[in-house]
Structure 1
Amino acid sequence: MALRSRITGVGSYVPPKIVTNEDLTQLMDTSDEWITQRTGIKQRHWVESTTSTSDLALEASKQALASAGIGPEELDMIFFATISPDHFFPGTGVFLQRKLGVPGIPAIDVRQQCTGFIYGTSMADQYIRTGSARRALVVGAEIHSKGLDISTQGRDLAVLFGDGAGAIVMEATDVRDPTVDSHVFSTHLHADGAFAEELWVEAPGMAVGGRMVTHEIIDQGQIYPKMNGRKVYVHAIKRMPEAINETLDANGVALEDVDLFVFHQANLRINEAVAQRMGIPEKKVFNTIDRFGNTTAATIPIGLHEAEKAGVLQPGMLVASASFGSGFTWASMLIRW
């Protein structure tokens, strides 16, 4: 027997407000056809008013805990992946911890953008494998709508992003038969800072000169995300297949033996290209981007939860996930559900 981690609960939450492509035409020069053709997105959910990232995370966490059949007091650790924190500091994990009512346990923020959820899962997996924790909550949550340039100038990015949260509960387990027993096989993490400025938000920050944020920085739009879309696409369709093959090779698993692929939801065209390059049947790829847009760190846990609710994801299934995003960062994981 080997001590491993397994996912025992999953949950997700998106705010009630739906923003369709048609709604965006009232804010910028765009069209439903233009957005759908380039991204596959039909709608996304955006928060109202004072809703915070930790608010979304709390709702997803409650669902995950209920799914696992445990209370928050039974958690040993929290890993919170986000690039849209409640505040500059402290980390958003402590605000979620406070709302869950579990003082004292570690609450670790993970800043790895679109790959943040797999990074957080990897960290939780390692803590559990070494016996340092028995149960961990891993959350990916984002509010993008408050930080987008929703004018025509910013439309290339503004149409992509949605708000939402997803969470899983991971617990220690003794694996007797990896072909049957639910567990995390492995995770694989990568980064290359040579491309950091290809997808980034320059400010506020300590490297912009003078002050962290100024009226000039705001007026110049440095507070909004910027992306070299072509370069992101080219690297994504290269790195994601590499990452999937890495996790399959590490575990001696053939591509055709994977039951379901739950990829990061950055752009439907990226996921279609990855599947085509790898020869993955369309029916094995579960996408949610048409309904939720790109929720960065939340896309994979939302996908897992939606797949389970739809009956597509069943106990015992072999699931592969991969993500690519800002940094550049990319990652993969293989799990037995």
Structure 2
Amino acid sequence: MLPIESPVKPMLARPASKIPESAELLFEPKWDGFRCLVFRDGDELSLQSRSGKPLNRYFPEVLERLRADLPERVVLDGELVVVVNGRLDFDALTERVHPAQSRIDLLAEQHPARYVAFDLLALGDESFVDEPTSARRERLEGLAAEHVHITPATTDPATAREWFTLFEGAGLDGVIGKPLAAGYSPGKRVMFKYKHSRTADCVLAGLRWHVDGEPGELVGSVLLGLYDDAGVLHHVGTVGSFPVARRRELAGELAELITDGEHPWLGDSTREGQRLPGGVNRWRSAEQPWVPLRPERVLEVGYEHTEGGHPARFRLNAQFVRWRPDREPKSCGYTQLEEPANYDLDAVFRGEVKPAS
């Protein structure tokens, strides 16, 4: 029996505004994947998600590699990632959670997942949960193998800031700061996360009513659009974080924009390849209802990064910043979205800082 048994709640991070001048933190790249704890006890090996659910079925190639490279008895914390065209691809990763085993096996062959370890919780009969980050990191570095990547780490804030900028071009998500003297605290927000934050002006093109009210009473979320170079309006995300009082106000303010006529996301107005809201996908079997609004208003939103290729969409829900009455909807295009400079992802796996050629 391992000294630590699954399920274990992973140690978490809380947002922080900027990387500090501190000698008390260990900085690591923030990988854009699925959080995954690995438990190996002889022939038994299990992959556990952040929520405690098993992941073995979805990543057979990872199990095979970990069995070949890991010690007989070990517990690791890390991230599952998928690389496509030299960048981390979260969309390709989520496609692995599929009901058909044949589909999983095909994707595993086309774009095999990798496991990136960033913490060691146990080895043999020893538990390191109460050991400081510095000690756990030292032991972790001894486990590096061909298919078990150990995340780069530094105690130098200047290097961490360089990683924050450079590594985004490889699809990474920011930087994590771990207190060097702290133990591993399951489920606690002990670490710090420094993530990229940007703004964009988007077209207000639709809304969804809140589930706790009648239609027309409370706005649940507003739907965002951006125009491509051909003048096609694509659905790029939503804003849904509003206080209850503001949801009620928005229901009144936006009522005059509701339309049952021509709309760029409805009927004959749609175009091939256009991103549209509410469609059926692998996460939902029925269309998600929404209310079309005349695309006449512009709002500025905050976002972290995009996904999905061209046309792209916001990876997570955007945050409302302000209305932009000074902007014309047709001026809200993809060109305003920042594209990070390309970066050699293999260099990140090797712990190097080397711009791609």
TM-score bucket of the superposed structures, by smaller chain: under 0.3
Higher-Rg member (1/2): 2
So what's the TM-score if we normalise by structure 1? Answer: 0.24
Q: State the TM-score, normalized to the length of structure 2.
A: 0.23
- Which structure has greater helix proportion? 1
